[in-house]
Amino acid sequence: MTRPSQLLHAQRMPIATRDASTVLLLRDSADGQGYEVLMTRRADQGNFANAYVFPGGGIEAQDGDPANHDLARVRSAMVEAGGEARITQALAGIRETFEELGILLAYDAQGLPVSAAQVAQLDRHASLYAQCRERGWTLAVDQLWYLAHWTAARDLPKRFDVPFFVARMPEDQTPEADETEQFEPTWIRPQQALQRFAEKSLFIVFPTERTLQRLATFAGTQAVLDALQGEKLLWKSCPRTGFIQGQDTRHMETDMAFGELEMVHPDGQAGHHLDWQSETAVPLRKNLLRLTAPNPGVMTGPGTNTYLVGDAATGYIVIDPGPNETIHLQRLVQTTGGDIRFIVCTHSHPDHSPGAVPLQAMVEQAGRARPPIMGLPSAPTARSYSRFKPEVTLQDGEQLTLTGNGLEGEITHTLQAIFTPGHAANHLCFLLVEDALLFSGDHILNGSTTVIGPPDGNMIDYLDSLDKLDEICAEHAVRYILPAHGHVLGFARQQIAKLKAHRLAREAKVHAAMRAKPDGSIADWVALAYADTPQALWPVAERSLLAHVERIQKMCLGR
């Protein structure tokens, strides 16, 4: 669990949210090419000034009135999934759509969809519920489908909690903006809206942008509605704020930077810079810094992350000193004041361990005690450029400790070694016990899957190690994974499950390729199993494919 004492900032409660509801009205394009969504421009003052949005607004007391719920025609499955609250949200969306655009999703006394002429008889400034009750109409909640749910970022001064519904546009009705809150009703394809946003000719806010991006993957209105038939929304998000090149940016839970933003600033109130640089260490906690080596590339991403565990009072443990890059190692010494107690390597690959010996020498030159180099020796299967022999061999479960008074005193930080072969035969992960943080080396990466290259890499061992890490995450309530390449990952156990599922899905493709071409070569099988991967990466993919082939063959023979 997180130690509040190690957070970088005092925590503040975000502003409470206000309940609102939004309806996306969809229609198939007249030319038969795709579909369109209705958007309107907000007023030049107030919330989301001049932004193009979907119709909707705040939920009012009348929307939750049981008497008004009696006016709703609903699907029983919808109520089972969301209860009365779902009806309240849907009614609010219908009411707001009527008040803002004069569009009404309702049935007349005969149970038929209301016509444009019937809707024109209503007063948009009077109670919609009272007018429907007078006419014996019911509101078409059953035409709304729960698409997504957005909660505004925690750092905003005004926050809304909003379900997004979708519905098919009534055929004979025409939107007419109220010219008070909404202006310029516009039918537009999601792809076109995104293009205009990129061209800066259409202003949209982050939730609208991401919703349009998801909608752009569907071929037509019915395809969207079909995806929602199970009464389950497609996504739920409360974005977090970071800075890239000095600009305020928003990130969803599925974005690579989300976990780091959550870990560094749990309350979401302070900004965190996400730009990759190698000049200065990035604080992640009071007892944790990350300094990224200047070795970016296809296989290393933005570079190798060196983690510094500890503080000025306890000294530091260096995890993965990285390549033998003098300037990087000098920066590690400068950042720690040379007070490095242990140098540990997750494995022997050349972007992780070669910096260990020269870093040790620099520490001694700075007048500090010689820190031991720790890890596991490379196996005989390691390639010649991946040989590593530590001074101290770590055992599975062994703990390294830093104390508050230097070499003696109360233990402040505990780093536990976890043997995780798979990517390399001598691979270790590490658990910062007091803070439940998992350092995953190359076993788990952010934004890509690690290469498993036999003979030193082994897919059976790799998947078994994933299971082992999942058990440890469950035991210690680990939420964050700190990889050797890329930003911090959140939702640790979900990430592990997703990664394992991806590996098994890829293995199924490999097995299918082997069956399709039983006499084929590794290159033939890669072309089939990795058809969704850029061809430039196929030579690297061959290594992991070979690991899958070994596992498939061993499983067929029986482990």
Distance between CA atoms of 238 and 251, rounded to whole angstroms? 9
Q: How far is CA 12 from the centre of its chain?
A: 23
Tokens in use for 228?
């929602």
CA triplet 127, 130, 136: central angle to 5 degrees? Answer: 140
Distance between CA atoms of 508 and 529, rounded to whole angstroms? 8
Q: What does the pLDDT read at residue 385?
A: 87
First and final CA of the chain: distance in angstroms?
Answer: 37
Q: What does the pLDDT read at residue 46?
A: 65
Beta strands in 326-384 (DSSP E): 340-344, 373-375
CATH architecture of 276-498: 4-Layer Sandwich (3.60)
Q: What does the pLDDT read at residue 559?
A: 52
Contacts 24+ apart (CB under 8 A), 194-203: 202/52, 203/50, 203/51, 203/52
Specify the DSSP class assigned to residue 384. G
Q: Is 172 exposed, middle or buried (0-12, 13-18, 19+ CB in 10 A)?
A: exposed
DSSP H helical ranges for 102-233: 116-120, 128-135, 190-198, 206-215, 221-227
Report the CATH number of the 18-236 domain: 3.90.79.10
Distance between CA atoms of 25 and 55, rounded to whole angstroms? 8
Domain boundaries, the chain: 18-236, 239-275, 276-498, 505-557
Q: Is 241 exposed, middle or buried (0-12, 13-18, 19+ CB in 10 A)?
A: buried
Q: What does the pLDDT read at residue 453?
A: 94
Distance between CA atoms of 146 and 144, rounded to whole angstroms? 7
Cis-peptide, bond into residue 483, ω within 30° of zero: no
Tokens in use for 259?
């976990």
Q: What are phi and psi of 55, to 5 degrees?
A: -60, 150
Contact predicate 479/491, CB 8 Å = yes
DSSP 485-543: SSSPB-SHHHHHHHHHHHHHHHHHHHHHHHHH-TT--HHHHHHHHTTTS-GGGHHHHHH
Strand partners, 217: none
DSSP 2-50: --GGG-SS---PPPPEEEEEEEEEEEE-TTSSSEEEEEEEEPSSSTTTT
Residue 444, CA distances (Å) to 208, 395, 498, 557 in order: 32, 21, 11, 29
Q: What are phi and psi of 416, to 5 degrees?
A: -110, 130
| Tens of pLDDT, residue by residue, the chain (559 residues) | 789 999 999 999 999 999 999 999 999 998 888 999 999 998 877 667 789 999 999 999 999 999 999 999 999 999 999 999 999 999 999 999 999 999 999 999 999 999 999 999 999 999 999 999 999 999 999 999 999 999 999 999 999 999 999 999 999 999 999 888 888 999 999 999 999 999 999 999 999 999 999 999 999 999 999 999 999 999 999 999 999 999 999 999 999 999 999 999 999 987 899 999 999 999 999 999 999 999 999 889 999 999 999 999 999 999 999 999 999 999 999 999 999 999 999 999 999 999 999 999 999 999 999 999 999 999 999 998 889 999 999 999 999 999 976 455 688 999 999 999 999 999 999 999 999 999 999 999 998 899 999 999 999 999 999 999 999 999 999 999 999 999 999 999 999 999 999 999 999 999 999 999 999 999 999 999 999 999 999 999 999 999 999 999 998 876 5
Q: What are phi and psi of 373, to 5 degrees?
A: -95, 125
